[in-house]
C-alpha cells in the first residue's frame, strides 16, 4: 500500500450514503485524538490480497527483515461488510486492540484490528480511551 494524493475528505465524500455518516463520525473522533499527526489516504493491495483504501493517522516507521517500512499509527477502512480500525500500538507486548477489545462493544478483534458492522456496535468512550493511549505510546 502507498500514500496517495487524494484527500481523505474527498474519499469520504465518495462513499455511499448509507455508510458515509459512520465513517465521517469516526474520522472526526480519530482526527481529534490524533491532532497534530498526518492524516492521509493509503491505497493498494492489503495483506489479505484485497484492494483497500485506508485513512491513516500519524506516521509509523519500523524495520522488518532489514527494510524500513512506512505505515500509519491508526487506520480507518470501510470493508465490504464492516468497518475496520487498525491500531498499531503495543503495550507490554500486546496490541491495544487486544487489550481493549472486550470493552469496545460488539466487535471482532484481531491482532491490531477491530471490526464492526455498525457504529452503534462500538463503545465510543472506550475507543477514545484506547486511541489516546495509542497516541501516548507511539
Residue-range domain boundaries for the chain: 2-137
- Condensed to tens digits (0 to 9), the pLDDT of residues 90-101 reads 999 999 999 999
Looking at CATH, the fold of the domain delimited by 2-137 is given as 3.90.1150
- Condensed to tens digits (0 to 9), the pLDDT of residues 29-80 reads 999 999 999 999 999 987 777 899 999 999 998 888 888 988 999 999 999 8
> DSSP assignment, residue 105?
B
Residue at grid coordinates 469496545: 104
pLDDT at 69: 84
The interaxial angle of helices 20-33 and 124-137, nearest 10 deg, is 40
Q: Average pLDDT for residues 130-135, to the nearest whole number?
A: 96
> pTM of the prediction?
0.93
Amino acid at each position: 500500500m502507498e500514500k496517495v494524493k487524494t484527500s481523505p475528505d474527498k474519499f469520504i465524500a465518495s462513499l455511499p450514503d448509507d455508510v458515509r455518516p459512520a465513517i465521517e463520525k469516526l474520522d472526526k473522533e480519530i482526527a481529534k485524538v490524533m491532532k497534530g499527526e498526518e492524516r492521509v489516504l493509503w491505497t493498494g493491495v492489503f495483506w489479505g490480497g484485497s484492494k483497500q483504501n485506508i485513512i491513516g493517522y500519524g506516521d509509523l516507521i519500523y524495520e522488518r527483515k532489514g527494510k524500513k517500512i512506512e505505515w500509519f499509527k491508526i487506520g480507518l477502512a470501510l470493508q465490504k461488510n464492516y468497518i475496520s480500525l487498525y491500531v498499531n500500538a503495543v503495550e507490554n507486548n500486546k496490541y491495544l486492540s487486544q487489550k481493549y477489545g472486550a470493552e469496545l462493544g460488539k466487535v471482532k478483534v484481531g491482532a491490531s484490528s477491530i471490526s464492526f458492522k455498525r457504529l452503534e456496535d462500538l463503545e465510543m468512550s472506550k475507543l477514545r480511551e484506547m486511541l489516546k493511549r495509542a497516541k501516548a505510546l507511539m
